[in-house]
Amino acid sequence: MFTEAVAISVRRSAPSSPSVIRGKGCFLYDEQGKSFLDMSGGSGAANLGYQRDDLVEVLKRQSELLIHTGWNIDNPQRHEVVAKLAGLVPYAQASVFAAVTGAEAIEVALKIARAATGRQGVVYFHNSFHGKTQGALSVTSNSGFRKHLAGDNLQLTALALDYAADQDPARATLWREQLAEHLQQAQQANRLPAALIIEPIQAAEGMYPVPLALLEAIVELGKRFGVITIFDEIYTGFGRTGTPFFSNPQLLPDLLVLGKALGNGLPISAVVGRPELVDCLGYAEHSSTFTLMPLACAVASKVLDIYHQEQPWQWAASNGGYLRQALESFGEEDSRVANVRGRGMMLAFDFEGTGKGGDVLALRNRLLEHGVIVRTGGRNPATVKLTPPLCMSQQEIQAFIQTLQGVCRSL
Ligand SMILES: Cc1ncc(COP(=O)(O)O)c(C=O)c1O
């Protein structure tokens, strides 16, 4: 019975995916030795590729010394991670609040915003994705822990974005005025939210870049109304879009949420921001058993060294540009490959066949037969999402494009 349930849950979690036993670089391998070029990059976490030698070395060494202690026993690696991360993010001075998964870090960011403002509400945006937890605190009874939990009235507001605003300054101005009006009215009604939360590129729903003018408006209005701005950079962070982070000193939210590539496959995430804000959430007001475990910290510390030394965002900028150009030229030949979008190694296109996403599934399955993994779906089910490891070479990208061309011709 139990085995059956596990089998069902695994099958549900990975329809039409291969079962793999090892990886190297940008490739995964199944038991028969068949290779798969991973254009999903381990859900965007394997920025430096699979089984990179120096990371495996650190992993081996640390696993022989100490894997886990519990969050409240200190280890030197966590101090290294915090210091190195604080030196990479775009804040002049930063505090780091660590967590294990991306969704957990989002919960931390919301807690910080609620702790800092004493308010409950959150404004989020259409087509957003920030994780799948339901607020574990809502079923936890300790009143100290529940301090920053939203009550029955969650005061959540979803606002629409205007994706065409970057092409038309008048539309950007209108959108900004509407957001200002929304916040003004909330202020008058004494219902100002604690936070505004957004992904700079909306990943899960199909890699939709949020127009820069809208992100600027969010940061500016957040400041003006005293609402904490949160950029969810769990996907866009760590070089994926061609710069270290999407945020930069000119476009700086109050809080930056990071995850995925920080451990290059080991579970570790973080919320980063000015110390006086992040430190609003006191010691023990949020933690998990595995927070800052020695093994994940040792690997993340090495990952951060690699970021400092090798600047992998440059690979994302050049190789991502190459991939995008190749997709666009192929789209000129085959009109089903449409709406190429994204930045760096965070790209997508819509495979517009005869509708309802049927053709895109055929494309995904055929690519898999030919040894290429892609992820599909989102707001438009026909979307193909490409987030390969940043270290994918132009030769490997060429091989992907050739396979895509061959498969498209056969459909
Ligand atoms: C933008 C964004 N936020 C949050 C999450 C949730 O992260 P996790 O799956 O590690 O909980 C994801 C996961 O894909 C994501 O893409």
**DSSP calls for 51-71:** S-HHHHHHHHHHHHH-S---T
Q: What is the dihedral of CA 306, 267, 49, 371, to 10 degrees?
A: -170
Nearest protein Cα to ligand 1, atom 2: 130
Nearest protein Cα to ligand 1, atom 6: 131
Segment 272-296 shows an average pLDDT of 94
108 ligand 1 Cβ < 6 A: no
pLDDT value of residue 167:
92
27 DSSP β-pair partners: 24, 37
- Calculate the average pLDDT of the chain: 92
pLDDT of 324 > 90? The answer is yes
Q: Which of 133, 208, 230, 260 to mutate to test the pocket of ligand 1 (most atoms within 8 A of CB)?
A: 260
Is the CB of residue 106 less than 8 Å from the CB of residue 257?
Answer: yes
Encode pLDDT of 106-139 as tens digits.
Answer: 999 999 999 999 998 999 999 999 988 876 666 6
102 ligand 1 Cβ < 6 A: yes
Angstrom CA distances, 210 to 126, 293, 319, stand at: 11, 34, 22
233 ligand 1 Cβ < 6 A: no
Q: For residue 235, report the distance from its CA to the centre of ligand 1, in Å.
A: 7
264 ligand 1 Cβ < 6 A: no
Q: For residue 405, report the distance from its CA to the centre of ligand 1, in Å.
A: 31
Q: How many CA atoms lie within 13 A of 126 on its CB side?
A: 6
pLDDT of 169 > 80? The answer is yes
Q: Which of 130, 207, 256 to mutate to test the pocket of ligand 1 (most atoms within 8 A of CB)?
A: 130
Which residues, other chains included, contact 257 with Cβ-Cβ below 8 Å and sequence gap of 6+?
102, 105, 106, 108, 109, 230, 231, 232, 233, 234, 269, 270, 271, 272
300 DSSP β-pair partners: none
Q: How confident is the model at residue 1 (pLDDT cuts 50, 70, 90)?
A: very low
Which residues, other chains included, contact 340 with Cβ-Cβ below 8 Å and sequence gap of 6+?
324, 327, 328, 331, 347, 348, 349
pLDDT of 219 > 90? The answer is yes
pLDDT value of residue 23:
98
Q: Which of 40, 47, 110, 129 to mutate to test the pocket of ligand 1 (most atoms within 8 A of CB)?
A: 129
Binning the chain into helix, strand and coil, the percentages to the nearest 5 are: 45, 20, 40
Q: What is the dihedral of CA 366, 367, 368, 374, to 10 degrees?
A: -130
Which residues, other chains included, contact 387 with Cβ-Cβ below 8 Å and sequence gap of 6+?
39, 40, 41, 43, 44, 203, 235, 240, 345, 346, 347, 375
pLDDT of 12 > 90? The answer is no
pLDDT of 6 > 80? The answer is no
Segment 193-215 shows an average pLDDT of 96
Q: What is the dihedral of CA 404, 376, 372, 325, to 10 degrees?
A: 40
Nearest protein Cα to ligand 1, atom 3: 130
List of domains in the chain: 18-47+312-410 (3.90.1150.10), 57-310 (3.40.640.10)
Higher pLDDT, 148 or 24: 24
pLDDT value of residue 362:
92
Give SS3 for 106.
helix
Q: In percent, how much of the chain has pLDDT > 90?
A: 85
Query: How many C-beta atoms surround the C-beta of residue 382 within 10 A?
Result: 24
Q: For residue 7, report the distance from its CA to the centre of ligand 1, in Å.
A: 24
**Does the pTM exceed 0.75?**
yes
